[in-house]
Structure formats: C-alpha cells, structure tokens
Amino acid sequence: MPLKTPSIFANPEEADNVEGITSFSYDLNAEMLQDAYSHGIFPWPFDDEVIPWVSPPERGVIPLEEFHIPRSFQRQLRKRQFELRVDTAFEEVIRGCATQERPGGGTWITPKIIQAYCELHETGWAHSFETWEKATGQLVGGLYGVSVGKIFSGESMFHTVTGASKFALVGTAEILKKCGVTILDTEMVTSTTALFGAREIPRAQFLKLLKAGRGNPLSTDELRVAMAR
C-alpha cells in the first residue's frame, strides 16, 4: 500500500521541537494509525486525553541484516523453554505491555491506545509475536507492532518470565527477515534493543527508507508461513 497522501498530520520533516511532535489530537482510531505509520509518525500519549503524534529527530532502528543475538542470550535459547506464536493473543500482549514498569512510572499504553491498536490488528496492520512457556502452556511474554511494507515498527515488549521478551524479539526478527522486511523500527533505542543492534539514524534517513520500502502490510498468514520455514 502506498503512503497515504495527503496526511491529516503535519509534515514530520517540519517538526522542529526536541520531541519531534507533529500534531495533537483527542481522537485515536485505526485509520489515524494507518495514516501516521505510513508517514513515520506514531502516538506517544502522556495520559488518555490529548495525544501527541511524534516523529523523533533521531529514530531507533535495527537493520535486520545487522541483527545479532548476544552470547548471553544464546545460552538461554538453547534451553528451548519457549514457543513462539503469531497473532493468537494480540490483546493479551498489548495489555501485558501496559503492565511493565517504565522509567518514571506510569505507561503510555492507555485504554484508548489499547482499543485503537486492537482495531488496527483487525485491519491486518498490527501483529503480535508471543512467547508461550512450554512447561506451563502460559503466555509469558511478547511484543506487538505495525507492518508497513519493508518496515516493521515494534511498539512494546513485556515478559513475566526472564528472557521471554527477548525470545519474542529474536523470533520476530527471524520471521520479518524471511518476509523481506529490512528495518525493525524500534522508535527509541533502549538498553535491551541496543544489545541486538539498535542504533539511531536521522529522521530524514528513516523517512527515505520508509518511502522506498512502501508496500502492503504483512498478513498473519504470511508471517505464520515464514515462521514455519
């Protein structure tokens, strides 16, 4: 799917504030999210009222050709304690992400965010990669994000068992690479994503990559077929 033009949001290249805020809104729905992600923008709410839409001046990304697994986590992978599934528990994953402790407390994953991304999931743009514990059969971690052509924007991760979110990240990267995705957009670089190769690139470079890689969002079936290969 080509980039939606024109956008309801301000041009991200003209966002000259430190946070990269392009617009504000009270509303949030799947159509707005499709528009935003097609233009390198995402919501970053402070509460469940006014929603800032941002495109950071420096964007966190993992080029999937550079994705690597830290040696310390390779040892845990060899234990084979987890199983990866795709799109079987999207709402549970996003709610799990909302419970994770964040620096400064609180969460940006508000009830409005949960509802809108669940709607986006129903359209086929948003997907969950889930970590299930083999011994208990329980969902113990995962991540969710948005597919836009050759870029996948990872939104958040969670875990209730050590290593479960990292397992989901590794599985996500492997599946996306098989599907022809070239960039895992982490939006920000964290201490965890940096271990796997995340780095910052200028917004202009990210928007150029987004435009060059535009296309249809990956379907659940495509992701599951890639996972089985």
pLDDT one-digit tens code per residue, 125-176: 999 999 999 999 999 999 999 999 999 999 999 999 999 999 999 999 999 9
Element (H, E) at 7: none
**163 in a domain, yes or no?**
yes
Q: Are residues 136 and 194 in the same domain?
A: yes
Statement: residue 98 has pLDDT above 50 = yes
Q: Tell me the pLDDT band of 105, cut-offs 50, 70 and 90.
A: low
Q: Are residues 208 and 117 in the same domain?
A: yes
Element (H, E) at 83: strand 82-86
Angle of helix 90-98 relative to helix 111-123, nearest 10 degrees, comes to: 150
Statement: residue 3 has pLDDT above 60 = no
Q: Which comes out higher in pLDDT, residue 45 or 86?
A: 86
Q: Are residues 81 and 140 in the same domain?
A: yes
Q: Are residues 51 and 93 in the same domain?
A: no
Q: Are residues 192 and 218 in the same domain?
A: yes
Q: In this structure, are residues 57 and 20 in contact, taking their beta carbons and an 8 Å threshold?
A: yes
Q: Are residues 110 and 216 in the same domain?
A: yes
Q: Tell me the pLDDT band of 103, cut-offs 50, 70 and 90.
A: low
84-94 pLDDT tens trace: 999 999 999 99
Statement: residue 24 has pLDDT above 60 = yes
198-224 pLDDT tens trace: 999 999 999 999 999 988 999 999 999
Q: In this structure, are residues 175 and 226 in contact, taking their beta carbons and an 8 Å threshold?
A: yes
**What integer pLDDT is reported at residue 1 of this predicted model?**
44
DSSP label at 124?
T
Give the range of the structural domain holding residue 160, as residue numbers without chain letter: 59-228
**What integer pLDDT is reported at residue 73 of this predicted model?**
93
Mean pLDDT of the chain, nearest integer: 93
**2 in a domain, yes or no?**
no
State how far the Cα of 101 lies from the Cα of 35, in Å rounded to an integer: 29
